[in-house]
Amino acid sequence: MAEAHSAVAFTFSVTHEGVNVDVNHEALKAVFKSGLRSIKKSMGRIKNQMKNGVYPASPMSWLFVLTFVLAFILAGVDPSFGMIGWIKTHFPWLSSASPLVSYYGSCIVFATLVWLAKAFIWKYTLRLLLNYHSWMYESRGPMSLKTKLWLVTVKLMGGRKPMLMSYQFSLPKLSVPSIHDTMNRYLTSVQPLLDEEKYSRMEKLAREFEDGIGKKLQRYLVLKSYWATNYVSDWWEDYVYLSGRSPLMINSNFYAVDAVFINPTSRQASRAANIIYAMLLYRRELEREELNPILLNKTVPLCSAQYERQFQTTRVPGLEKDKLVHYKDSNHIAVYHKGRYFKVYIYFRGQLLKPVEIEKTIQQILDDDSEPAPGEEHLAALTAGDRVPWYHAREEYFRKGKNKASLDAVEKAAFFVALDDEPQNYDKNDPSKLSKFGNAMLHGKGYDRWFDKSFTLVVTSNGRVGFNAEHSWADAPIMAHLWEYSMFEDFFVQGADAPIMGHLWEVATADDRTIGYTKEGFCKGEITTPPPNPIRLEWDLPKPCLQVIENSLEAAKQLIADVDLQLLVHNQYGKGFMKVCRVSPDAYIQLALQLAYYRMHKKFCLTYESSMTRLFREGRTETVRSCTPDSCDFVKAMDDPQKKREECIALMKKAAEVHQVNCRNAMTGKGIDRHLFCLYVVSKYLEVDSPFLSEVLSEPWRLSTSQTPHQQTNKLDLAKHPEHISAGGGFGPVADDGYGVSYIIAGEDCVFFHVSCKNSCPTTSSSKMVDSIVKALADIRTMFEQH
């Protein structure tokens, strides 16, 4: 436990009178409870794995099968056609038992085998059903008879009360698309970006690849798809994320900000305590698999594999490639404040600390006026700079002694918390404040976030919150799920009188229901037993290490100076109007972004929109190429005075439909870029050069976009409480001369945009891009309203 509660369970001394033993009963009790908690968690994992292994069958169905078999036996009918007798004579432990035990034991074994066979047939039938994706391509309106029958069958076979990981073994594998189809889709996507001569050259390269080396690479890739769980995900994680040697900050990590329209308290310790507590409740549900799996249309499950590394995970630097290290459990969090690091225990005497107890601990840190050790304040700059210097510093200075112990405390923490000493806010009369908030979450000061941790929770001095997340372990929807859950618990669960939502409190004690704030803004509840004191981490950083830290900080400062991030609250209209226009909101915004970019730069560009492939086991993302010939036709028509509004609307709806088809293709394994990426990896393994793949993989994404998902839980009704949605988050620009654009469709009447680019590029400007987006959205609205 913490230093205030003794570090050892017993001490002894040897004197001339003999050996004196002093037993610390409180410490022994704490050790016993900690061990008991670990055993319970291990048993819980084993139980969940057994349930998931046979799902959608249930343990109760085994009892039904056994009862069915015994009923036939008692009626004098052998339902096994002699198999029970065979089991009785061929299983030594049954043949040597008494006749009664032997007979009924054989019945139990037979019933169990029948039940397992039924469970696996059921599971693999569900997997076959989930390979059907035609339902996604059906236009709005009446379903086809085939889809109706499929939907009813999936619902019947989908099981009852699934846990988070229940569907994992029923999800289909991601299949490899044909090279011919990928080549055709690729050529269609680049057609509006190339002139006739360049397109003819690219078409020739593509066809030569398709008829030549592509066939050999495809065979290897198909072979991998049979062997591996997912033919893309491991290579994507290794080569796109972990092999990168450039800084994580801005280049890879992403961020999110608070629900900016409200703030339940301005007290930093109180807000930090409730959000930390809400995240720990989420972690408990995650560990017990009590989070509901995400179901499309309340029927089709998405892969939940990415949730496994959300907590107790850190990215460890390597010379050529980093590695992700995940710990099964942690009983503490790491906290940074004004250059000092603290270890904060979240359990005491086997119980999770209540918000009011966490608040007290956080306040102790805020009130601590001790000075940082030399180099301690800027230590986290090592995680913000280049990976190789951080690797060498770690090997040289953090392998033993107090530095290793303190680094372990940070890396083995459930998550990292940064208590900022500056306020952040949103002011509708001063948009720059929200942009400043976003910048603080994206990069901070370059040394006050531990960028290697799975995520850093940031709490500002006036009680605003946000996070910065490392990207290799999972994609944004996983963090968005945690964020949405935490926002709800923080805003709505107000103590023991709060309404019970979902099944959270079915496993919680009365003491758990103490989240919320008093009228003065403090955490609700009372402290009955003083919580463990925070432990100040100690560092001994020699001068050479200090120089590495300063070099990393200088690199971080250069990155920060170069990023240009602007946030936009577009509240003129939102999803409500877009749906009235009978256009998909995502397609609507993507077309507006195409229009905005074209007006600024007088040309089109390769555009990336992130789409998920979690319909498949261990699926992550695929690229939707949003710039299409149809979107270009619409954009040109918008600024063509010869085009009538009716023509522009028709072109937009056609472009939106094409975009929707491309999104569905990406989601169902018929995308372009992950297939080409994996073919490129195979070519490198085989040491084969492909001019086509080399050129395709080097094309810059000058417009990289992503929609932040929300309402992944059933807790928050945005129709009633639209002000409670987070303002979303964003990321840095992908190309030196491009933009990173993230957006969240916040209810019916608001859309948040996060636009980034580089100051060093003379042709890009986030503020001008924001203005262009606003004008594009306004012009599209006018087009529909005057129709």
Strands 455-459 and 323-326: unpaired
Burial class (CB in 10 A: 0-12, 13-18, 19+), 12: exposed
* Candidate list 332, 337, 443, 471, residue with the active-site label: 471
Using CA atoms, how far apart are residues 697 and 680, in angstroms rounded to an integer? 8
- Distance (Å) of CA 426 to CA 430, 434, 569, 731, 748: 8, 5, 10, 19, 20
Question: Nearest CA to 739 among 766, 771, 768, 767?
Answer: 766
DSSP state of 320: S
- 466, 442 contact by CB (below 8 A): no
Residue with tokens 């119980």: 351
* 611 bridge partner residues: 622
Distance between CA atoms of 437 and 258, rounded to whole angstroms? 9
Cα 504 to chain centroid distance, Å, stands at 21
Q: What is the torsional sign of CA 221, 225, 229, 231?
A: positive
Burial of 320 (0-12, 13-18, 19+ CB in 10 A): exposed
CB 265 within 8 A of CB 651: no
> Is 16 assigned a catalytic role?
no
User: Strands 340-345, 703-707: parallel, antiparallel or unpaired by DSSP?
Assistant: unpaired
Six token digits for residue 339: 């250059």
Q: What is the distance between the alpha carbons of residues 498 and 405, in angstroms, rounded to a whole number?
A: 41
The DSSP-derived string for 45-98 is: HHHHHHHHHHTTS-HHHHHHHHHHHHHHHHTT--TTTTHHHHHHHH-HHHHTS-
Active site residues: 471
